[in-house]
Structure 1
Amino acid sequence: MPRLAALVVGAVLAASAAPSAAAEPGPAPPDLVSISDVDPSILLDIRYATDHNFTGHRVDGYEAPMCLLARPAAEALRDAQRDFLARGYSLKMYDCYRPQRAVDEFVAWARDLADQAMKAEFYPRVDKTRLFADGYIAEKSGHSRAGTVDLTLVALPARAEPGYVAGQPLVDCTAPAGRRFADTGIDMGTGYDCFDTLAHTLDPRVQGVQRENRLLLASGLAQHGLKNYDKEWWHYTLTPEPYPDTSFDVPVAPSSVQP
């Protein structure tokens, strides 16, 4: 798929860069909406509202398994979803708006070198002392600006979402799709939140159907202004960002949706 690959290379953007000026988190954006209100056909798998994430527990600020976004980002995803549905796929959201308190928890978790509970799945080949230097954890996130999402594609009709039981045996996120956690998304070559260079969108070791699937997601979202962060195949930011210089800290909860 050389033409499609060229499109994606042109669209790849380091979208998770920190805002231009450090500031205290602001109040909720005035247009914060639930993606389920904008397009109820978009699937949800909000991992930080569960125990199945790299911390091993529900993350602070995730009071409900919801995808909240600034309205322009939600509407861009709605438009992309229409295109994907016509091709037999649905978007599935892993994370959307992320409160600053959750980002702060990630930072504290990364500094706690004794906590290695989820290493076998999420960072089996990365020493935890390298998480900041290698760019996996940062003190600011585009997610907190309400215009960044983590997502994948699901082939329709969607299969039932597998359950995760805390304490179950963990499998390397780079293992073949049939062995790693049974996510309902199409095979992207790694699991979600895989701290490994194989998760880089255009890593040359990822070929065949896995590469085609990454390019399918990237090209479909690029047509609606959503640009990929090249080190995470799942990470996209609406450009221009609705709130490029403001992080927010209201919880992910029904009460945070703006009227």
Structure 2
Amino acid sequence: MRNALVTIVVFTLIGWNACSHADQPTTLSPAKTAAAANLVDIRSLVPDIAEDIKYAGSDNFVGAPVDGYRAPKCFLLRPVAEALTRVEHDLRAQHMRLKLWDCYRPARAVANFVRWAHDLGDQRTKPQHYPALDKSKLLDGYIATVSGHSRGSTTDLTMERCAADGTGCEPLDMGTHFDFFDVRAHTDAPGVTAQQHANRLLLRDAMERGGFRNYKMEWWHYTFTPEPTPHTIYDVPVQ
């Protein structure tokens, strides 16, 4: 059953990649461990980086721990993790920090999302995550597109402002919470305040300086470019 679900994910990703990687299909890596996939825990580089890995718990749009997340950890391909470390260090010099919600995402987790999206009877998280959108529309630009996380080069995050000594960090007001499926979550959405938009641009500028590009439909979503393995997805558990 899991192999069948992973096949669904591969086809989903091929569809998403058609615009940017049309010359080569996406393949599933045979790697069975993080080391074999060159995935590293960001905390091996920044031990005290702020994390709240949403899919390892129930505070997410599925409303339950997601397949493949056996621990609340952020894994990324090593070059991507090193680039994110540089962004974090640059921000700390400005009394700012990143806070990570998701990083590498196993293919089986994406299959979990697709399965959940097709279960139209499960509306438990609608008020918090897609209040103005019919659940049947979530695969049109929201859930399907974040499948790029399985390539190990994408992270979902926000930014915090800290005291001069690095303590008392508080998240910037970005106008919506993470995984809010609505036009207000678009990076340049007109329905947020000037300060909220400025905060989004502050995050975008910091990430772009580090080599990451934003997905315009989600202010929190960034992909390192060029991706180290743009045509390969992984299904190594996060543990």
TM beyond 0.5: yes
> What does residue 151 of structure 2 align with?
145
CA distance in 2, matches of 1:230, 1:107: 21
Q: Name the stretch that deviates more: 94-103 or 30-39.
A: 30-39
SS class of match (2:156): strand
Change (3 A) 1:81 1:24: closer
Deviation at 1:186, TM superposition (A): 1.1
Could you tell me how far apart the structure 2 residues matched to 1:127 and 1:25 are? 34
Task: Give, in angstroms, the shift of residue 32 of structure 1.
Answer: 1.0
State TM-score, norm by structure 1.
Answer: 0.78
RMSD: 1.8
- What are the Cα deviations for residues 44-98 of structure 1, in whole angstroms up to 9, with x where unaligned? 1100001000000000100000000001111111111111111111101000000
8 A contact 1:218–1:228 mirrored in 2? yes
Check the 8 A contact 1:104/1:139 in 2, yes or no.
Answer: no
Any unmatched runs of 5+ in structure 2? 1-14
Q: Does 2:73 correspond to 1:69?
A: no
Secondary structure class of the residue paired with 1:90: strand
CA distance in 2, matches of 1:115, 1:62: 21
Q: Specify whether residues 206 and 109 from structure 1 end up closer, same or farther in structure 2 by C-alpha distance, changes over 3 A only.
A: same
Matched, 1:107 2:93: no
Separation in 2, partners of 1:231, 1:26 = 31
Q: CA separation in 2, counterparts of 1:35 and 1:139?
A: 23
Distance in structure 1 (CA, Å) of the matches to 2:142 and 2:100? 19
What is the match of residue 181 of structure 1? none
Q: Map 1:83-232 onto structure 2 (within 5 A).
A: 83-133=90-140, 135-138=141-144, 141-157=147-163, 159=168, 184-232=170-218
Higher relative contact order (CA 8 A, sep 6+): 1
Q: Are positions 1:36 and 2:43 aligned together? A: yes
| Contact kept in structure 2, 1:79 and 1:224, CA below 8 Å | yes
Cα pair 1:81 1:91 within 8 Å, conserved = yes
Q: What residue ranges of structure 1 are gaps of 5+ in the alignment?
A: 1-15, 161-183, 254-259
- CA distance in 1: counterparts of 2:127 and 2:193, whole angstroms: 24
CA distance in 2, matches of 1:198, 1:139: 17
Q: So what's the TM-score if we normalise by structure 2?
A: 0.85
The one-letter amino acid paired with 2:30 is G
Relative to 1, partners in 2 of residues 1:23 and 1:140: Cα closer, same or farther, differing over 3 Å? farther
Deviation at 1:212?
Answer: 0.9
How many residue pairs align between the two structures?
Answer: 214
What does residue 5 of structure 1 align with?
none
Same amino acid, percent of matched pairs? 48
**Secondary structure in 2 aligned to 1:141?**
helix
| Aligned-partner residue type, residue 201 of structure 2 | L
* Alignment partners' CA distance in 1, 2:26 and 2:87: 32
Identify the range of structure 1 (83-92 vs 99-108) with the bigger mean alpha-carbon deviation: 83-92
From 53, 59, 66, the counterpart of 1:46: 53
Question: Relative to 1, partners in 2 of residues 1:117 and 1:83: Cα closer, same or farther, differing over 3 Å?
Answer: same
